[in-house]
Amino acid sequence: MKIDHYKVLEVRRDASAEEIQRSYRNLALRYHPDRNAAPDAAARMTAINEAWAVLGDTARRHEYDLLLTRPVLPPEFSTSILLAARDVILRAGWRVLEDNTKTLLLENARQKVRVVFLDRVDNSILSSVVRQFPEFCVVLSVNVEVPIGPSAAVIDLLRSESYGAVLPDGPDGSCRSLFATFL
């Protein structure tokens, strides 16, 4: 996350809706390019409007606050978690049909599942992943930006939570058992 909307609007994170609106109005009056000749006034006004669009909407503010509370992991830590998850999946006894480091195609009792390992996933990334593969996809990730649509199952490895589509059940419940370790 590059810009802290609370800092842009010069309010605390626990500010009320009224405080956020008041600050937005004051800053908009101060930095509007029609009233401020400074060379960075237009860019500053754009940032102020973006911050207001997020913090002024209750639902978007709630989602933004959730993103702020997610830990930022060093890349090597994320990689270690994903490699450990991959190792667990490979030892589960499913037949490996395809292994491309970031993805596995597994089969067990005529049930196929594509497992995708991603550092970060959101709906746009998820939709591009799903378009690439015809099989049911399960994405294992260390940074999940919710909400997630129903196009695939997503498992947040840090929080042991599942989002999106429900894991399919084969005749022996094997798909759910494959991912039970992570939930």
pLDDT in tens, 28-39: 999 998 998 888
- pLDDT in the model for residue 124: 86
- pLDDT in the model for residue 21: 95
Angstrom distance (rounded) from CA 157 to CA 9: 34
Mean pLDDT value across the chain = 88
In this structure, are 159 and 89 located in the same domain?
A: yes
- pLDDT in the model for residue 122: 86
In this structure, are 63 and 100 located in the same domain?
A: no
In this structure, are 80 and 147 located in the same domain?
A: yes
- Residue 162's nearest CA partner among 133, 177, 140, 178 is 140
In this structure, are 85 and 175 located in the same domain?
A: yes
- pLDDT in the model for residue 123: 86
Angstrom distance (rounded) from CA 107 to CA 96: 7
Flag the least confident range among 7-16, 33-42, 61-70.
61-70
- pLDDT in the model for residue 173: 57
Residue % of the chain over a pLDDT of 70: 93
In this structure, are 85 and 40 located in the same domain?
A: no
- pLDDT in the model for residue 52: 94
In this structure, are 148 and 132 located in the same domain?
A: yes
Angstrom distance (rounded) from CA 88 to CA 72: 24
H or E segment at 164?
Answer: strand 161-164
In this structure, are 109 and 61 located in the same domain?
A: no
CATH number at residue 84: 3.40.1350
Number of domains in the chain: 2
Of 30, 53, 69, the domain-final residue: 69
- pLDDT in the model for residue 19: 95
CATH number at residue 43: 1.10.287.110
Beta strands 161-164; 95-99: pairing state:
unpaired
In this structure, are 111 and 178 located in the same domain?
A: yes
Pick the more confident residue, 66 or 149.
149
Pick the more confident residue, 17 or 172.
17
The amino acid sitting at 171 is P
Of 18, 34, 69, the domain-final residue: 69
- pLDDT in the model for residue 49: 94
In this structure, are 61 and 107 located in the same domain?
A: no
In this structure, are 127 and 147 located in the same domain?
A: yes
In this structure, are 102 and 165 located in the same domain?
A: yes
- pLDDT in the model for residue 30: 92
Claim: this prediction has a pTM higher than 0.95 = no
In this structure, are 47 and 110 located in the same domain?
A: no
* Residue 129, φ and ψ in degrees, nearest 5: -65, -45
- Residue 175's domain spans which residues? 75-182
- pLDDT in the model for residue 171: 61
Of 49, 69, 89, the domain-final residue: 69
- pLDDT in the model for residue 28: 93
Q: Stretch 53-74: mean pLDDT, rounded?
A: 81
